[in-house]
Amino acid sequence: MTGGFLGSQHWLAGRLRRPHIAATLAVAAMVGAVAGVLSTGFWNAIAALDAILEFYVAGPVDCLASWPWGFLRIRFLFPAAGALAAALLARFLFATPQRLGVASVMLDARREWGRIPLRYVPATFINGVLTIGSGGSAGREAPVVAMGGGIGAWVARSLSLPPSQRRLFVGCGAAAAIAAAFNAPLAGVFFALEVVLGDFRLATVAPMMLASVAGTAMCRATEGVEEAAHLSVPPYHVVSPFEVVLYAGLGVAAALVGVAFTTLLQRSERFFATSRLPALLRPAVGGLGVGLLGLVHPGVLGNGYAGVLAACSGDLVAGVLLVLLVGKLVATALTLGSGGWGGDFAPALFVGAMTGGLYGALLTALLDDRVASSGAYAMVGMGAVLAAAIRCPITAILLLFELTGSYQVILPIMVAVATATFVASRLSRFGLYHARLFELGGPTVAAGGTHLEEYRVADAMQPVTHVLSEGSGVEEIRRLVATTQQTVFPVLDASGRLKGVVRLADLRAGILETTGGAPIIAADVLRDEVPLLTPEMPLREAAEVLAAAECDELPVVRAADDPRPCGLISQQAVLRIGVVGLPPGEGRSGGLDRDALQWEHRRCRNGD
């Protein structure tokens, strides 16, 4: 029985490595189906925990209280308790001190090649439920993307697939997770292509589509077609064709709010990372702040889907919209900045709905019934702020189209999203996920991009396997040439500092052709005028130095004032990144299993 299973596994792995189209699509569908089930289970677990806390904990306390604020008094402690429980489980049970976010999945897909440990799947599920279900201001979309990507990575590793296939199945899991979360298969596909992978090649699109369909189908099968849409907004209606112009103004407002959302999250993360609070207590402190905000308005708690639906239905007045807008910005920054387990996708939609609703309410006050209701602008605002914060215009447009089921929303959402994306890109270089990816050292451009300024020399250099001393003789050099692929050999002095280089061409012309006369050593063919490259130097600058030096390779030294070699960079490695968009070490070490905390939060070295 076991032999038959292993035989099937090896047969499937062989088919995938060729690659075989049918086998690739079959595994993509399987990964998508599992991600869809996880997404559905995650949603139901959050709802169950929220109901348990409200009816079995807060309810009895409210009945016992002799004054009407008894419920709120106990309820405001829930986010802190949930965040603390998640932090304890993460550290002592799952050995995953930090949450796995979308940027981490992007890094794994673009650089680490399917190294997400499987333990992050149950850790994200349980800790995400504790954080969001207890009232933490976060969404479930980023956790399900992490779980879907983790399942895809595990399946690919189990089949011993090459890096390109592992990358593909990480994306398939992410696509299916988003598709199941919103009952929106097209949005799921383009989220994975546009954000996670940055790759629109045909060989990538087909498996993504099948995984997204499988995830959506599993969600609908387990919950029913109507109930599968957890965020269902009212139909959209255009009052006047000329009203489309007004959505450009909404795009500008959405860009400002989206950039503020991103900036506030980043500053909150830095604040908590540099604070003297113990790491285990930071999420609880953030949760306590969220609970206090819940006393002002409980709408800022949790994922906020009820508030989004109310705004899109036009049921909220301008004052409430403003309170919820500001409150959600602060609550999300406290939850996620302190290390809470959850995502920022749903809060971005919430903030967008409040922004659009407030903008629409102001237009209605000025123009009366000549414009649509505030609810229509709230719907469009969701997509505009999402696009501005995350820089995913195609995903935002398709998501709104699939949520509303109305083709009339296309023109307004295209105008608002295009304006918001353009203005936001002028205000900040990166969106939320790409900024985190950049801080983690990952490539922020799409596959096939040629923006070498996004990379450093450290991304392309290889280890130095062979060096020479100034006194190295002919026989030693011959042995090196016969056993290495290096074309340039660093020559070191007695203290290990770079003295110069010897090129393979120089060896052929000098040493290797010598048959008699005085002994020739490395110093005789040494090139001592060598440009110094450091690991932190921009790769575009290094490419120009390589071209000017007329060398296939150049050594990389530790620093300008410390000329000890730490690597080699070649023209081939630069070309690979510039044309293909990938660093040379597809399977480089440094994955999650060795140092999960540093892999996820390399930017937050706090010494815990």
Cis omega before residue 143 (within 30°)?
no
Start-to-end C-alpha separation, the chain: 47
With CA atoms as reference, report the closest residue to 455 among 111, 7, 221. Answer: 111
Q: What angle do CA 462, 464, 465 make, to 5 degrees?
A: 115
Residue 60: other Cβ atoms inside 10 A: 12
With CA atoms as reference, report the closest residue to 375 among 348, 357, 354. Answer: 357
With CA atoms as reference, report the closest residue to 573 among 502, 488, 514. Answer: 488
Lowest mean pLDDT, pick from 224-233, 307-316, 341-350, 470-479 = 224-233
- In DSSP notation, 125-187 reads HHHHHHHHHTT-S-BSHHHHHHHHHHHHHHHHHHTT--HHHHHHHHHHHHHHHHHHHHT-HHH
Enter the tokens of residue 601.
């939060």
Give yes or no for residue 68 having a pLDDT over 80: no
With CA atoms as reference, report the closest residue to 343 among 209, 119, 174, 215. Answer: 174
* Per-residue pLDDT, 198: 78
pLDDT, mean of residues 127-135: 92
pLDDT confidence tier of residue 508, bands split at 50, 70 and 90: low
Q: Indicate the SS3 state at residue 27.
A: helix
Give yes or no for residue 176 having a pLDDT over 90: yes
- In DSSP notation, 274-341 reads HSSS-TTTHHHHHHHHHHHHHHH-GGGSTT-HHHHHHHHTT-S-HHHHHHHHHHHHHHHHHHHHTT-S
* Per-residue pLDDT, 34: 93
* Per-residue pLDDT, 600: 40
* Per-residue pLDDT, 263: 93
* Per-residue pLDDT, 454: 62
Task: Name the DSSP letter for residue 527.
Answer: B
In terms of pLDDT, which residue wins out, 225 or 201?
201
pLDDT, mean of residues 135-153: 90
Q: Indicate the SS3 state at residue 604.
A: coil
In terms of pLDDT, which residue wins out, 401 or 586?
401
* Per-residue pLDDT, 537: 84
Q: For residue 535, what is the enclosing H or E element?
A: none
* Per-residue pLDDT, 204: 82
Give yes or no for residue 579 having a pLDDT over 80: no
* Per-residue pLDDT, 605: 35
Q: Which amino acid is at 242?
A: F
- Distance of alpha carbon 496 from the chain centroid: 40
Residue 213: other Cβ atoms inside 10 A: 21
- What does the pLDDT look like over 94-126, one tens digit per residue? 888 677 788 888 888 877 567 888 888 999 999
Q: pTM above 0.75?
A: no
Cα distances from 277 to residues 98, 271, 366, 559, in angstroms, run 16, 11, 49, 35
544, with CB counted inside 10 A (0-12, 13-18, 19+), is: middle
* Per-residue pLDDT, 214: 94
Is residue 468 within 8 Å of 481, Cβ to Cβ? no
Rounded-to-5 percentages of helix, strand, coil across the chain: 65, 5, 30
* Per-residue pLDDT, 517: 53
Q: What angle do CA 414, 417, 422 make, to 5 degrees?
A: 120
pLDDT confidence tier of residue 203, bands split at 50, 70 and 90: confident
pLDDT confidence tier of residue 580, bands split at 50, 70 and 90: very low
Enter the tokens of residue 122.
């149950």
What is the total residue count of the chain? 608
Q: Indicate the SS3 state at residue 217.
A: helix
* Per-residue pLDDT, 418: 95
With CA atoms as reference, report the closest residue to 346 among 385, 372, 378. Answer: 385
With CA atoms as reference, report the closest residue to 137 among 415, 416, 373, 327. Answer: 327
Q: Which amino acid is at 18?
A: R
pLDDT confidence tier of residue 357, bands split at 50, 70 and 90: very high
